[in-house]
Amino acid sequence: MAEWEAVIGIETHVELQTKSKMFCGCAVAFGEAPNTNTCPVCLALPGAIPVPNEEAIEGIVKIGTALDSTINKDSLFYRKNYFYPDLPKNYQISQYTFPVCEFGKLDIMVDGEPFTVGITRVHMEEDTGKSRHVGEGGRIHDASHSLLDFNRSGVPLVEVVTEPDIRTAEQARAYGAELQRIVRTLGVSDARLEEGSMRFDANVSVRRGPDAEFGTRTETKNVNSLRSLQRAITFEIDRQIRVLEEGGEIIQETRHWNEGKGVTISMRIKEESEDYRYFQEPDMLPLEIDEEWQQRVKANQPELPAQKRARYVGLGTDTHTAELLADDPALGGLFDEAVGAGADAKQAGIWLTQEVVAYLRREEKTLSATALSAEHVAELATMVAAGDLSSTASKDVLNGVLAGEGTPREIAESRDLIQISDSGFLDTEVDAVIADNAGAFEKLVAGDMKMIGFFVGQVMKRTGGKADPRLVSEMVRTKVQG
Amino acid sequence: MTDLADLSIAEAGRQLRAGDITSIDLWEATVTRIAYTEPHLHAFLTVDRDGARAAAHAADAAFKAGEDAGPLQGIPIALKDNMCTKGLATTASSRMLEGWVPPYDGTAVAKLRAGGAVLVGKTNLDEFAMGSSTENSAFGTSRNPWDTNRVPGGSSGGSAGSVAAGAAMGAFGSDTGGSIRQPAALCGVVGMKPTYGLVSRYGLIAFASSLDQIGPFARSVEDAALLLEGVAGHDIHDATSYRGEYPTFSDGLDLGVKGLRVGIVKELMVDAIDSEIRSASRAMADKLADAGADVVEVSLPSSEYALSAYYLIAPAECSANLARLDGVRYGNRVPADTTDEMMAKTRAAGFGPEVIRRILLGTYALSAGYYDAFYGQAQRVRTLVRQDFAKAYEHTDVLISPTTPTTAFEIGAKTDDPIAMYYSDVCTIPSNLAGDPSISVPVGLDTQGLPIGFQIMAPALGESTLFRAAAEVERLAEFTARPLLAVSKETV
Ligand SMILES: [Zn+2]
């Protein structure tokens, strides 16, 4: 029998950080006192009706465009009906047929291999309020009462649905990470998984090989990090295979990822697919996104993460450094400026992603809170290229700059780190060392190349560590060839 | 001397501006009339005596200061109790919202306040505007001022009755399938449903969002036009609100109908319509022809299915619109052990039988497996009805028909037969499905002494033509009768 293969589809909800909510003028703001950012519309008072937010529509068009989707010129809102206390209208305004975006794709890299995930649709909807269950275990079943906060009610929510193209938990994670980067690059959401402004639901099933029919799928919710997404899917794949191999059956159901125990737990059985009684939202007209609007979004699209990574590699950084720079807008921005100011890209990339990142972690600072500028990086790179500064010393100088001690040259001079690369002076020093160590030089001439290190070390000693070791090494070799 | 409560808005406006009367005089005449008629009519759920007096004082102060916010400044007006009024209870005649005080004004209400209107109170309706008699109100049935054993029609029965009885100089209601025009016809006043989108629905407690429109009740066509002008216009709080320009409706009321192409709707002149009403409509059509109109017969073949389509679309929309009434955030709540149980018990206790019937109908019509046969089919009929109208308007300017199949019926006569009750809206529903403006003008009394309404319909945004034709119908009808209740007041 063929090997087991998993079939995975991901639904991602992204809260847009617009100025106001999806259908009313209330502010989109978090962490404020409960029910302060509310109005008749987002509390669903009698008589209140929705008006769509243009900024949110622009946000979803940006996402859809970045995901290579078709943007529907006329798109429809629907009511999705279900009763739940944190859903004030007891229907959610969402989309059904004719969502804003359809037929997209996202190219990702998994272990150095390119992989394409099909995007079925990207649609616009609204978020719910939040329930807090009070008493006993804090769960709805044993709570004495529940408190509701509608500050989040009506916050614009974009749902990105993939085709069942994903086959491994690693691919799923890579997809999630890339989608997160894109959303952040577009500036439409901070996409923080731990705070719920980005949320994943994973649909997982398994089958015997790529030609078999799809198996029964489960939907796993409450995945609060990329790592959990990968873990939850891995768990769910293994669980399903185990159940099937033991002769059991997979039940179509919603499961809840328990981070602490590292398992998915059945929430409730979907006996039949829930009937949401979708019908077109009569409070709104079809949403028109004309060609001009679509073109404007396309023209103003920022450089996407994949494009940025490719550009960095083209400049000379390695793939890993390119990823790190592309992932951090502040670091990437400084990198671009430094290269623009003349710094060597490879060198600048390494400094920023290694020394600078280590410093920021150690000092618990953000890049903007340090004194480091693009000009500093360029100056430092020029000094190293000119042989004025050793690679080791450059790291000390960089830390000095980060700490606000001055420009690289000022620091190098005040710490007496400037290298001696005056070849006339060094030649005299090399000759002196050879003269003092005739025996060792004999060995070198006889072919014991290890002795080069000895001579370089001796010169360094005589110059108080300030000679350019690369230059000295070259000179010793020249002497041998005689 | 005429009781000030019986003045037209136009005439009262002239006297206010001439300094002959004050807004307080009008307020006094109105609350005096309300005190007299209300025990017989039960047109109001709330009378805001103090709020109205303050508004009347403010209007008088404005006149004194030379400030004039328009024709409604200082005029006592009643509002259907499904229009949200900040600080004043708004119930939609439902136990569910008994005691609920909105924290906001709907847009139409805000415009009326800004226009200096004196809002005298909130009028009775069928619960959530579902009904044709006010018998579905949780707070008692309103009565017809022409015969208090009869219904005033509905759902805006309280607004219609109050204007007929002189308990308000004008009123507003909402019309989803005829809820303004049908009670206007039964109470012998003018009632008008504007083009969908002309008046903002923000703050109108929704029954069926794609059909609901706020519109005026008045004792004259001119007054109806003035009232509509006071609430019409684009609103950023309503995504379906009309954005374009429109003319002043009260201009051109005396242009007559010479050359106007008038179509009498064949399908609404059938046996199911009371013969006296048909004769009155036919007689008016002849008078219009005599006055120079070009009257022809037209057909709206799909109107046969309009009533059925309406009773799927409106319940479907209401099943979602009323879902927010769950006891969680406002309104009455029946406590229970779990949230689900609380919501279920609250809704079972809070809604009356007709509302529950329509929610169930609508929920069923939208269910998986039934959607296409019911809701989908109804939407297709709606498209056909629109196409019928479009075709008819290719060679006509307005259409005419009776407003209702019967005059005011006795209280209790149709309460056990919902289908018979639904049939009350057979003539009015097509305009709602099409989104077009339509008006009912009283044209006479039947042999029982009950008013007969005559309906005029126009294409979307054809309000000017509609009012022009209605004004001519008003002149030709010479309908001057008043209900006994209003007349007897003068002799008390
Ligand atoms: Zn709000």
Cα B186 to averaged position of ligand 1 atoms, centre (Å): 41
What are the residues of chain A with a beta carbon less than 8 Å away from any beta carbon of chain B? 40, 43-52, 79, 81, 83, 85, 88-91, 140, 146, 148, 275, 277-279, 282-285
- Are residues B366 and A44, on separate chains, in Cβ contact within 8 Å? no
pLDDT at A60 over 80: yes
Domains of chain B: 4-255+484-491 (3.90.1300.10)
ipTM, two decimals: 0.96
- Are residues A277 and B366, on separate chains, in Cβ contact within 8 Å? yes
pLDDT of residue B24: 98
Residues of B in contact with A25 (CB under 8 A): none
pLDDT of residue A30: 82
Cα A95 to averaged position of ligand 1 atoms, centre (Å): 20
Q: Is the dihedral of CA A332, A337, A338, A343 positive or negative?
A: positive
Taking the CA of residue A40 and the nearest CA in chain B, the distance in Å comes to 8
pLDDT of residue B492: 42
Taking the CA of residue B64 and the nearest CA in chain A, the distance in Å comes to 36
pLDDT of residue A142: 67
- Are residues B103 and A146, on separate chains, in Cβ contact within 8 Å? no
Instruction: Report the greatest alpha carbon distance in chain B.
Output: 71
Q: Is the dihedral of CA A354, A358, A364, A370 positive or negative?
A: negative
Of the listed ranges A460-474, B295-309, B402-416, the least confidently predicted one is A460-474
Q: Do the beta carbons of residue B336 and residue B345 sit within 8 Å?
A: yes
Residues of B in contact with A146 (CB under 8 A): 339
User: Mean per-residue pLDDT for A2-31?
Assistant: 95
B80, B111, B122, B414: the active-site residue: B80
Q: Identify the residue among A21, A283, A284, A288 best suited for mutation to test binding to B, counting B beta carbons within 10 A and taking the highest.
A: A283
B94, B179, B401, B464: the active-site residue: B179
How does DSSP assign A361-391, residue by residue? HHHT--GGGS---HHHHHHHHHHHHTTSS-H
DSSP letter assigned to residue B88: B
Cα A40 to averaged position of ligand 1 atoms, centre (Å): 6
Known catalytic residue: B319? no
With a CB cutoff of 8 Å and minimum separation 6, the contacts of B302 are B381, B384, B385, B387, B388
Q: Is the dihedral of CA A245, A248, A252, A253 positive or negative?
A: negative
Q: Is the dihedral of CA B378, B380, B386, B389 positive or negative?
A: negative
Where in chain A are all domains bearing CATH 1.10.10.410?
A: 423-481
Instruction: Encode pLDDT of A261-319 as tens digits.
Output: 999 999 865 555 679 999 999 999 999 999 999 999 999 999 999 999 999 999 999 99
Cα A311 to averaged position of ligand 1 atoms, centre (Å): 43
User: Mean per-residue pLDDT for A73-96?
Assistant: 97
> Model confidence at A481, in pLDDT bands (50, 70, 90)?
confident
- Mean confidence (pLDDT) of chain B: 96
Taking the CA of residue A88 and the nearest CA in chain B, the distance in Å comes to 6
Q: Is the dihedral of CA B165, B167, B172, B175 positive or negative?
A: negative
Known catalytic residue: B279? no
Taking the CA of residue B372 and the nearest CA in chain A, the distance in Å comes to 11
C-alpha span between A102 and A60 (Å, rounded)? 12
Taking the CA of residue A220 and the nearest CA in chain B, the distance in Å comes to 24
Instruction: Encode pLDDT of B239-257 as tens digits.
Output: 999 999 998 999 999 999 9
> Model confidence at B490, in pLDDT bands (50, 70, 90)?
low
Instruction: Encode pLDDT of A122-140 as tens digits.
Output: 999 999 999 988 876 656 6
Written as six digits, the tokens of A79 are 């009511």
pLDDT of residue B491: 47
> Model confidence at A353, in pLDDT bands (50, 70, 90)?
very high
Q: Do the beta carbons of residue B316 and residue B445 sit within 8 Å?
A: no
How many interchain CB pairs under 8 A, A with B? 107
- Are residues B237 and A51, on separate chains, in Cβ contact within 8 Å? yes
Of the listed ranges A261-275, A395-409, B441-455, the least confidently predicted one is A261-275
**pTM value?**
0.90
pLDDT of residue B133: 97
pLDDT of residue A130: 93
Cα A26 to averaged position of ligand 1 atoms, centre (Å): 4
User: Mean per-residue pLDDT for B374-398?
Assistant: 97
Q: Identify the residue among A49, A147, A149, A271 best suited for mutation to test binding to B, counting B beta carbons within 10 A and taking the highest.
A: A49
Q: Out of A44, A47, A284, whose CB is closest to B106? A: A47
- Are residues B375 and A279, on separate chains, in Cβ contact within 8 Å? yes
**End-to-end CA gap in chain A:** 71
User: Mean per-residue pLDDT for A217-244?
Assistant: 96
- Are residues A49 and B237, on separate chains, in Cβ contact within 8 Å? yes
Cα A34 to averaged position of ligand 1 atoms, centre (Å): 13
Cα A80 to averaged position of ligand 1 atoms, centre (Å): 19
Q: Which residue of A has its CA nearest to B105?
A: A47
C-alpha span between B256 and A256 (Å, rounded)? 72
pLDDT of residue A419: 82
B94, B132, B137, B155: the active-site residue: B155
Known catalytic residue: B179? yes
Q: Out of B90, B202, B323, whose CB is closest to A90? A: B323
- Are residues B240 and A284, on separate chains, in Cβ contact within 8 Å? yes
- Are residues A46 and B238, on separate chains, in Cβ contact within 8 Å? no
Q: Which residue of A has its CA nearest to B367?
A: A277
Q: Out of A46, A50, A148, whose CB is closest to B239? A: A50
- Are residues B202 and A285, on separate chains, in Cβ contact within 8 Å? no
Of the listed ranges A138-142, A202-206, B189-193, the least confidently predicted one is A138-142
pLDDT at B468 over 80: yes
Distance of CA B313 to the CA centre of its chain: 19
How does DSSP assign B301-337, residue by residue? TTHHHHHHHHHHHHHHHHHHHGGG-SSSSSS-----S
With a CB cutoff of 8 Å and minimum separation 6, the contacts of B297 are B263, B264, B266
Q: What is the CATH number of domain A423-481?
A: 1.10.10.410
Cα A90 to averaged position of ligand 1 atoms, centre (Å): 16
Please compute Rg for chain B using Cα positions. 21
Exposure letters A350-388 (e unless 16+ CB within 10 A, then b): bbbbebbeebbeeeeeebeebebebebbbbbbbbbeeeb
User: Mean per-residue pLDDT for A57-65?
Assistant: 98
Q: Give the SS3 label for residue A436.
A: helix
Distance of CA B147 to the CA centre of its chain: 20
Q: Which residue of A has its CA nearest to B316?
A: A279
pLDDT at B276 over 90: yes
- Mean confidence (pLDDT) of chain A: 92
